[in-house]
Amino acid sequence: MFHFKYYLKTILITLLFISLQMGFTSCNTDEECRKEKKVNLQLAFFTKTVNETTKVTTTTALNIDSIWVKALDRDSFIYKNKKNIKTIVLPLKKFENQSDFIIRFNSKTDTISIFHTNNENYFLSLECGCIVTHKINEVVSTNHYIKSIQITNTEINTTNATHLQIYN
């Protein structure tokens, strides 16, 4: 009888250990879940200056003193009085082909409209879900602070790249 209890106790401990191992391994995410899943538009700010004597145009990165950004159809701010900023990232709509943002640079406000194509959902896995990538077709804005916008990368996916350059 003594050996039976010892044998039973060993089996129960082994089963408990195996079930705990299975529980921990089932919670692990696969390699796809570890990859970047955020798909955002990245904007960088620049200024152009012309040397009057040489007539050479120089482009330099611009540090924005204070910026406020919100989507046109939302009440909450994406950036609220963010200081000393050179780039911002903005989410595009997944189910519509136009995303509009109101951006206040210090005391001047502009509206930017991004016309984009939403690519098919990229399926990662059952645990991780899917992501939607975009392609920029056109960008228009008001010109209170913004002088021009240049599209530098039309494909918006999970890579960290600048898509639009905004010039003052």
Q: Which residue in the block uniquely carries the two structure tokens 């401990």?
A: 13
Residue 92: the pLDDT is 95
As for how many domains the chain has, the answer is 2
The conformational region for residue 133 under phi > 0 = left, psi -120 to 50 = alpha, else beta, is beta
Residue 160: the pLDDT is 87
Same domain as 106, residue 23: no
Residue 34: the pLDDT is 60
Using CA atoms, how far residue 144 sits from 32, 56, 100, 120, 164, in Å, is: 43, 25, 16, 36, 18
Sequence-distant (≥ 6) Cβ neighbours of residue 96 within 8 angstroms: 118
State CA 65 to chain mean position distance.
Answer: 22
Residue 33: the pLDDT is 64
Same domain as 63, residue 25: no
Residue 120: the pLDDT is 72
Rg, Å, the chain Cα set: 26
Residue 118: the pLDDT is 94
Domain carrying residue 12: 2-29
Q: Which residue in the block uniquely carries the two structure tokens 């009888």?
A: 1
- DSSP letter for 22, please: H
Same domain as 139, residue 102: yes
Residue 38: the pLDDT is 82
Same domain as 47, residue 7: no
Same domain as 65, residue 125: yes
Same domain as 92, residue 154: yes
Quote the pTM value. Answer: 0.74
- Residues of the chain with pLDDT below 50 are 23-28
Residue 25: the pLDDT is 44
Q: Which two tokens mark 140?
A: 């228009």
Q: Which segments of the chain does DSSP mark as H helices, in order? A: 2-27, 31-34
Q: Which long-range contacts (CB under 8 A, 24 or more apart) does 153-158 make?
A: 156/39, 156/40, 156/41, 156/92, 156/116, 157/39, 157/133, 158/35, 158/36, 158/37, 158/38, 158/39, 158/131, 158/133
Residue 21: the pLDDT is 58
Same domain as 25, residue 37: no
